[in-house]
C-alpha cells in the first residue's frame, strides 16, 4: 500500500491534530509546577500516558454541569472527570513523600491507584490538564510530520 505524497500544510496538520490515532504507549514524565523548586532528590515525577479514545468518551460521562437559569450559562463540575482521567493515565510516580503532622517523619508514598487519593486535589487537576495536553500532538511531533 502506498501513501500519496501529500504536502502537510499548517492548516492540514492543525486539522489532523485532534483526529490522528492516539498512541497509548506514548508515556511522558511531569513534575507539577508547584513542586519544581523541590530539591532534585525529593522532586516528585509522575509518569503519565495519553487518554485513549474510549477512555476519553467514558471520562466525558463523568462530567456534570449545572445551568444558571438567570444567566443561561452552564458551570461544569469536573471533579469526577479529573479523578477518572488520573486513575486511567497516571502510570507511576517517584519521589512522592508524605510528611507527618508534627514534621518529624517523612516516607515515600508507593504508587497505587488507591494512593492517588493522597495527592492534593490542585495537583490532580494540574496533572489532568497535562494528560489532556499529552493526548494531542506536540509541536515537535507536528514538525516531524512536515
Q: How far is CA 14 from CA 8, 67, 103, in A?
A: 10, 32, 49
Helix/strand/coil for 18? coil
Does residue 128 have a pLDDT over 80? Answer: yes
Does residue 77 have a pLDDT over 80? Answer: no
When the pLDDT of each residue in the chain is averaged and rounded to a whole number, the result is: 77
pLDDT band, residue 146 (cuts 50/70/90): very low
pLDDT of residue 142: 44
Parallel, antiparallel, or unpaired for β 73-77 and 64-68?
A: antiparallel
Average pLDDT over residues 91-115: 87
pLDDT band, residue 145 (cuts 50/70/90): very low
Report phi then psi at 27, rounded to 5. Answer: -110, 150
Does residue 124 have a pLDDT over 90? Answer: yes
Does residue 140 have a pLDDT over 60? Answer: no
Write the pLDDT tens digit of every residue in 1-51: 234 666 667 776 666 655 555 555 678 899 999 999 998 888 999 999 888
pLDDT of residue 102: 72
Amino acid at each position: 500500500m502506498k501513501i500519496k505524497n501529500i504536502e502537510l500544510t499548517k492548516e492540514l496538520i492543525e486539522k489532523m491534530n485532534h483526529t490522528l490515532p492516539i498512541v497509548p504507549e506514548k508515556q511522558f514524565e511531569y513534575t507539577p509546577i508547584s513542586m519544581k523548586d523541590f530539591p532534585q532528590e525529593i522532586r516528585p515525577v509522575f509518569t503519565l500516558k495519553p487518554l485513549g479514545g474510549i477512555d476519553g468518551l467514558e471520562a466525558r460521562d463523568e462530567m456534570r454541569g449545572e445551568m444558571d437559569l438567570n444567566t443561561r450559562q452552564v458551570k461544569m463540575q469536573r471533579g469526577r472527570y479529573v479523578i477518572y482521567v488520573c486513575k486511567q493515565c497516571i502510570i507511576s510516580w517517584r519521589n512522592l513523600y508524605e510528611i507527618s503532622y508534627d514534621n518529624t517523619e517523612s516516607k515515600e508514598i508507593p504508587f497505587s491507584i488507591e494512593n492517588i487519593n493522597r495527592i492534593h486535589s490542585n495537583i490532580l487537576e494540574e496533572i489532568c490538564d497535562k494528560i489532556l495536553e499529552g493526548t494531542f500532538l506536540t509541536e515537535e511531533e507536528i514538525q516531524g510530520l512536515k
